[in-house]
């Protein structure tokens, strides 16, 4: 590298290889998809153990249905 020569970011991007350009385009999309997966993961994990078509469990009451006396 020459003394006093500064390579700007624009000139560096202009000299990128096609693979580097693809990487620059794909990386933000991969990051967004990863963040979306992290946001949705708790809901998806929580839904795994639930049977959405099942009947609600019976409630056990500790008090009698009719008052005594």
Domain holding 24, by residue range, is 9-40
Look at residue 68 and tell me if it is in a domain: no
Look at residue 36 and tell me if it is in a domain: yes
HSE-up (13 A, CA, CB side) for residue 5: 6
Q: What is the DSSP string of 7-64?
A: --HHHHHHT--HHHHHHHHHHHHHHHHHHHHHHHHHHHHHHHT--TTSPPPPPPPSS-
Domain count, the chain: 1
Look at residue 16 and tell me if it is in a domain: yes
pLDDT digits (tens, 9 = 90+) for 14-66: 788 888 888 988 999 999 999 999 999 988 887 777 666 667 667 776 766 67
* Residue 44: predicted pLDDT: 81
Question: Between 15 and 10, whose confidence is greater?
Answer: 15
Which residues lie closer than 8 Å to 49 by C-beta, 6 or more apart?
none
Answer whether 54's CB lies under 8 Å from 46's CB: no
């Amino acid at each position: 590298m020459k003394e006093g020569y500064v390579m700007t970011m624009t000139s560096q991007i202009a000299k990128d290889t096609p693979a580097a350009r693809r990487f620059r385009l794909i990386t933000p999309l991969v990051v967004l998809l990863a963040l979306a997966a992290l946001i949705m993961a708790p809901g998806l994990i929580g839904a795994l153990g639930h049977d959405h078509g099942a009947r609600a469990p019976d409630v056990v009451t500790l008090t009698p249905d009719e008052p005594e006396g």
